[in-house]
């Protein structure tokens, strides 16, 4: 089949570069347009972009001219890695002009008619697209992926939620520097340090899993009912967000039940052959000192989350440590997997 032409908005940033890397040799998608701010527009990508992720900038992309983020790009699908301060209206303009928008930005995640999607968790929420188009009169639409901590969290919670229920959850994050974009946190603030505040982050981690694990009822999502308390910290790792989780299950379960439920989780995507779907969305490790960001973040090409140290918690029942790659499963890889599901289900045939 012909590849689907795609564009990347915010292509020069931290997440935008990850999109470019993951899309450069994608079997279904082909980069047809790169867009960013006025600062980068009309420059060659190789000149406009200060490449900061490992591996070289793909040669085919270097000479492409960066465009403005306006809805006149030669493609059908755009991935948005725009900062929240501008993403909202720009993504709406693209959707209104007939583009499918797969967004990383927070702006539309909690809109009642916009799917907040992790394909292994809530693929049925895509049905909101029809409601969205009808209500807003758009030819295109917006689909979003969760925050970089909420995405791995929802993935790890999904099998536990389905089998046992969850009533309360505490999560303490240790988040990598790349999560702050480029140039991000000044080195003198973070070297030899950890910062116990990331603006707006705790609210996202507390709210987004409730929509993701919610049930589609008619044209709306009924949110999952559990209490989540999040404390978010910036630490001096480059990539890979670590989350220390304690939770209270809705019913009795042995440690073996919990481990087996996490380890056996596959989601419902296996038959669709989505190129970015990992064989094992959740990898469980038994060593006392894993997962670690440097050693484990690339599990499943960065699309698997890694769980370790599953043990009893005297306060809530069980606790474990979770690791997710923030710019892959928590951002670009997540949006690409969402787009693969859109393609597989015919949402890009327009
Ligand atoms: N980093 C992560 O781990 C992560 C994870 C999940 C979600 N996100 C979300 O993904 C988005 C991008 O984050 P990031 O970390 O990649 O940020 P970033 O490194 O600061 O990159 C921002 C990008 O947006 C472009 N941009 C800035 N102002 C613009 C404007 N007025 N119009 C058009 N383009 C503009 C920049 O282009 P120029 O180079 O031309 O300035 C750059 O390409 C944010 O919404 C963020 O919250 C990030």
User: Can you give the pLDDT at residue 269?
Assistant: 83
Q: Which residues contact 74 (CB under 8 A, 6 or more apart)?
A: 5, 7, 32, 33
Distances from the Cα of 216 to the Cα of 106, 207, 243, 268, angstroms:
21, 16, 28, 16
Cα(247)–Cα(270) distance, integer angstroms: 28
Cα(245)–Cα(182) distance, integer angstroms: 28
Cα(62)–Cα(20) distance, integer angstroms: 10
Element (H, E) at 164: helix 150-164
Among the listed residues 26, 108, 125, 241, the single catalytic one is 241
Q: Which residues contact 270 (CB under 8 A, 6 or more apart)?
A: 277
User: Can you give the pLDDT at residue 100?
Assistant: 98
Atom of ligand 1 nearest to the CA of 241: 3
Question: Does residue 245 sit in helix, strand or coil?
Answer: strand
* List of the chain residues with pLDDT < 70: none
Q: How far is the CA of 294 from the centre of ligand 1 (A)?
A: 24
User: Can you give the pLDDT at residue 36?
Assistant: 98
Of all protein residues, the one whose alpha carbon is nearest to atom 33 of ligand 1 is 37
Instruction: Determine whether the shortest distance from the Cβ of 8 to ligand 1 is under 6 A.
Output: no
Cα(91)–Cα(93) distance, integer angstroms: 5
Ligand 1 pocket mutation pick from 36, 39, 117 by most atoms within 8 angstroms of CB: 36
Instruction: Determine whether the shortest distance from the Cβ of 177 to ligand 1 is under 6 A.
Output: no
CB-based contact 342:100 (threshold 8 Å): yes
Active site residue 25: no
Instruction: Determine whether the shortest distance from the Cβ of 86 to ligand 1 is under 6 A.
Output: yes
Instruction: Determine whether the shortest distance from the Cβ of 178 to ligand 1 is under 6 A.
Output: yes
Cα(151)–Cα(145) distance, integer angstroms: 8
Instruction: Determine whether the shortest distance from the Cβ of 276 to ligand 1 is under 6 A.
Output: no
Among the listed residues 49, 148, 149, 232, the single catalytic one is 148
Instruction: Determine whether the shortest distance from the Cβ of 84 to ligand 1 is under 6 A.
Output: yes
Cα(143)–Cα(126) distance, integer angstroms: 8
Atom of ligand 1 nearest to the CA of 10: 43
Q: How far is the CA of 239 from the centre of ligand 1 (A)?
A: 16
User: Can you give the pLDDT at residue 268?
Assistant: 82
Q: Which residues contact 204 (CB under 8 A, 6 or more apart)?
A: 106, 109, 146, 147, 149, 150
Instruction: Determine whether the shortest distance from the Cβ of 15 to ligand 1 is under 6 A.
Output: yes
CB-based contact 210:226 (threshold 8 Å): yes
Active site residue 108: no
Q: How far is the CA of 15 from the centre of ligand 1 (A)?
A: 7
């Amino acid at each position: 089949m012909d590849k689907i032409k795609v564009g990347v908005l915010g292509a020069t940033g931290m997440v935008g570069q990850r999109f470019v890397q993951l899309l450069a040799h994608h079997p279904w998608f082909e980069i047809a347009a790169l867009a960013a701010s006025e600062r980068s527009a009309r420059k060659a990508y190789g000149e406009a972009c200060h490449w900061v992720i490992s591996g070289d900038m793909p040669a085919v992309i270097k000479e492409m001219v960066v465009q403005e983020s306006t809805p006149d790009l030669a493609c059908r699908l755009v991935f948005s890695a725009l900062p929240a301060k501008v993403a909202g209206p720009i993504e709406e303009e693209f959707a209104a002009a007939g583009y499918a928008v797969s967004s990383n930005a927070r702006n539309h995640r909690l809109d009642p008619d916009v799917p907040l999607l992790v394909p292994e968790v809530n693929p049925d929420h895509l049905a909101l697209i029809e409601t969205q188009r009808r209500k807003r009169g758009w030819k295109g639409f917006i689909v979003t992926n969760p925050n970089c901590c909420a995405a791995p969290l929802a993935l790890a919670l999904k099998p536990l939620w389905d089998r046992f229920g969850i009533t309360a959850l505490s999560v303490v994050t240790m988040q990598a520097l790349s999560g702050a974009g480029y140039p991000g946190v000044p080195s003198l603030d973070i070297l030899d340090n950890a910062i116990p505040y990331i603006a707006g982050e705790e609210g996202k981690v507390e709210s987004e899993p409730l929509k993701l694990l919610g049930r589609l009822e008619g044209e709306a999502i009924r949110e999952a009912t559990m209490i989540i308390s999040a404390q978010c910290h910036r630490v001096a790792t480059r990539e890979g967000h670590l989350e220390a989780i304690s939770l209270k299950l809705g019913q009795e379960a042995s440690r073996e039940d919990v481990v087996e439920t996490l380890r056996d989780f596959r989601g419902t995507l296996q038959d669709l052959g989505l190129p970015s779907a990992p064989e094992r969305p959740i990898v469980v490790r038994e060593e006392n000192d894993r997962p670690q960001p440097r050693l484990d973040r690339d599990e499943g090409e960065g699309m698997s989350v890694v769980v370790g140290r599953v043990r009893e918690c005297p306060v809530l029942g069980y606790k474990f440590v979770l690791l997710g790659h923030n710019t892959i499963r928590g951002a670009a890889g997540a949006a690409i997997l969402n787009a693969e599901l859109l393609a597989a289900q015919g949402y890009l045939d327009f």
